[in-house]
Copies of this chain bind each other. A is one copy, B any other.
Amino acid sequence: MSNHSVTIKDIARILGISKSTVSRALSEHTDVNAKTREKVLALATKLRYQPNSIALHLKQQRTNTIGVIIPETVNTFFSGAVSGIQKIATLAGFQVVVCQSNECYTTEKDNLHSLIATRVDGLLISVSRETENTDHFDTLLQNNIPVVFFDRICEKLDTSQVFTDNYQIAFEATQHLIDQGCRRIATIAGPSHLYTSCKRFEGYKDALMKNNIEFNPDYLIYADFKQESIERFTRRLINLKESPDAIFAINDMTAIEMMHVIKKNGLRIPQDIAVLGFNNDKIGQFVEPSLTTIDMPAQDMGEAAAELLLFHIKNPNQRPEKRLINSRLIVRDSTRLRP
Among A114-122, A213-221, A303-311, the one that faces the other chain is A114-122
- Our pick among B53, B98, B114 for the contact of A118 (Cβ within 8 Å) is B53
Q: Is A265 an interface residue (CB 8 A)?
A: no
- Chain B residues with CB under 8 A of A143: 2-3, 5
- Cβ-based interface call for A1 (8 A): yes
Return the contact of A1 from the options B144, B256, B282, B288 (Cβ within 8 A): B144
- Tell yes or no: A317 within 8 A of B by CB: yes
Chain B residues, CB < 8 A from A3: 142-144
Q: Are A117 and B53 in contact (CB under 8 A)?
A: yes
- How close is A302's CB to chain B, nearest CB, in angstroms? 11
Q: Find out whether the CB atom of A288 lies under 8 angstroms from the CB atom of B288.
A: yes
Q: Mark A181-216, 1 if CB is under 8 A from B, else 0.
A: 000000000000000000000000000000000000
On whether A82 and B73 interact (CB within 8 A), knowing A1-B316, A3-B144, A118-B53, the answer reads yes
From A15-23, A54-62, A128-136, A240-248, give the one contacting chain B: A54-62
Contact residues in B for A286 (Cβ distance below 8 Å): 256-257, 259-260, 287
Q: Closest CB of chain B to A312's CB: distance in Å? A: 12
Residue A95 CB within 8 A of the other chain: yes
* Chain B min CB distance to A221 (Å): 18
Using a CB-CB cutoff of 8 Å, which residues 253-283 of chain A contact chain B?
253, 256-257, 259-260, 263, 282-283
Q: Which residues of B contact A86 (CB under 8 A)?
A: 98-100
Which residues does chain B contribute within 8 Å of A327, judged by CB atoms? none
Are A119 and B53 in touch, CB under 8 angstroms? yes
Residues of B close to A256: CB separation below 8 A: 283, 286
Cβ of A76 within 8 Å of any chain B Cβ, yes or no, is: yes
Total residues of chain A contacting the partner, CB 8 A: 55
CB distance from A275 to the nearest CB of B (A): 12
- What residues of B have a CB within 8 angstroms of the CB of A61 in the complex? 2, 54
Looking at chain A's contact residues, the main secondary structure is: mixed
**From B90, B96, B144, contact of A2 by CB (8 A):** B144
For residue A93, give the distance in angstroms from its CB to the closest CB of chain B: 8
A74 within 8 A of B: yes
Contacts of A90 in B (CB 8 A): 99, 114
In the bound assembly, the distance between CA atoms of A98 and B143 in angstroms comes to 27
Q: Answer whether residue A32 sits at the interface, using C-beta atoms and an 8 A cutoff.
A: no
Q: Point out the residue from B57, B65, B73, B283 that lies within 8 Å of A73, measured CB to CB.
A: B73
Within A45-100, the residues touching B (CB, 8 Å) are 50-55, 57-58, 61, 63-65, 72-74, 76, 79-80, 82-83, 86, 90, 95-100
* Interface membership of A145, Cβ < 8 A: yes
A contacts, CB < 8 Å to B: 1-3, 5, 50-55, 57-58, 61, 63-65, 72-74, 76, 79-80, 82-83, 86, 90, 95-100, 114, 116-119, 142-145, 253, 256-257, 259-260, 263, 282-283, 285-288, 316-317
11 A-B pairs (CB sep. < 8 Å): A1-B316, A1-B317, A2-B143, A3-B142, A3-B143, A5-B143, A54-B54, A57-B58, A58-B58, A74-B80, A90-B114
- Of all A-B residue pairs in the complex, the 4 with the closest CB atoms, nearest first, are A73-B79, A260-B286, A3-B143, A74-B79
